[in-house]
Amino acid sequence: MELLRDTYVVINLDRMKENMKLIRDYVGKDVAIAAVVKGNGYGHGALDIAETIMENGGDYLAVATLTEALELRKRFKEYGIFIMGYTPDEYLRHSVDNDFIQCIFSKRQAEILAELGSESNKRPIVHIKYDTGFNRLGYRDCQESIDEIIEITKMENLDVQGIFSHFALAGDPANRKQFNDFMNAVEKIEETGFKFRYKHICDSISAIDYPEFNLDMIRPGAIIYGLKSFRKNDIDIKQVLTFKTKVYHVKEIKKGEGVSYNFKWKAERDSVIATLPVGYSDGYPRNMTEEGMVTLRGERAPIVGVACMDQCMIDVTDIPGIQVGDEVVLYGDGSNNTLSIEEASKLGKTNKNELIARITRRTPRVYIKDDRVYKILNYLTEEI
């Protein structure tokens, strides 16, 4: 198992296992967990975390796109895979062929799926997206929508398993209004005698802060990866990912010399500059320029000059003895003076999920299991 690069991320599956167990204990055995692994598992590698998730409390894997679902199905033939986003009509046959749970929000798509199911002797499973104010996807909250959903529930060749919505997380009053609007709509539909197996509205934040809203299913994402955004309650999850690189060049420069494009940064004193083999093609944000900090030898060093596609530079003048090969932590868990993902996201003027989801497949993943290196994954040199 060769790493082949000095820039890589470490994925601690032991921590992910414990996070999943904590989530399961928190929501109880009667609430299904549709674990969100879209965006390549928030940068953690969906294929290589799926088993840990499913063996430790996950009931389904949830993705955003058909292609993400197809990638998972190649390896996992039996897992329940839920496509939460829109699948164009012309590609719905792939959803049926691969037994995906499909999000829909139109009678037209329900009819297409029912027809495809009839042709293949299947009953495609769907969850209906109901918009309670997020204004992204889903049926509008009105009687006309409810009437159409009732028609869909009566289709013989369709398994209408669930209905779901999504919080905008605009504050407690807005959250409670969304929940009440959702439940009022569900009640009107179920008054006809039809009963949904799954009703769900909670993501990571709302699942912890509003346990009374968890219903039959939750859709946790960030908390699986140890990223906290709770405002009311808490569970003791641990950050799973660490982003590392190594120093691969050290040079001394004189006061007044510039570094990187346009010399946006110039040395105000004689300085020692270390170059790192990581850039925005690896997912390290370009807007970390003169904002970001990294940790080496237990000390923090600032990013200087414009961060490049493949490299960035740090000022190590105040950290004596830095050498080529020294380990550098870009994102840690906050221990040993490292930047947690939360702190790094603030410096990068983004949120935690985006920061890790943007880590590209050029960057190898090192998986830790049972306190040892379990697997090294180089996407660019390994066939899936």
Which tokens go with 265?
A: 């940064």
Choose the catalytic residue: 91, 255, 261, 264.
Answer: 261
- Asked if residue 136 belongs to a known ligand binding site, the reply is yes
370: DSSP letter: T
| Distance in angstroms (rounded) separating the CA atoms of residues 57 and 360 | 28
Number of Cα atoms under 13 Å in the Cβ half of residue 290: 11
Neighbouring-strand partners of residue 313: 275, 304
Phi and psi angles of residue 218, each rounded to the nearest 5 degrees, phi first: -125, 160
- Asked if residue 313 belongs to a known ligand binding site, the reply is no
Please name the amino acid found at residue 324: V
Task: Kindly give, in sequence order, each residue whose CB lies less than 8 Å from that of residue 320, ignoring residues fewer than 6 positions away.
Answer: none
- Nearest residue to 113 via CA among 142, 164, 155: 155
Choose the catalytic residue: 8, 17, 38, 225.
Answer: 38
Active site residue 238: no
Please name the amino acid found at residue 314: I
Which tokens go with 39?
A: 């965006």
Active site residue 38: yes
From residue 238, alpha-carbon distances to 14, 111, 223, 242, 342 in Å are 10, 44, 9, 11, 12
Question: Which parts are annotated binding residues for substrate?
Answer: 136, 309
Catalytic residues: 38, 261
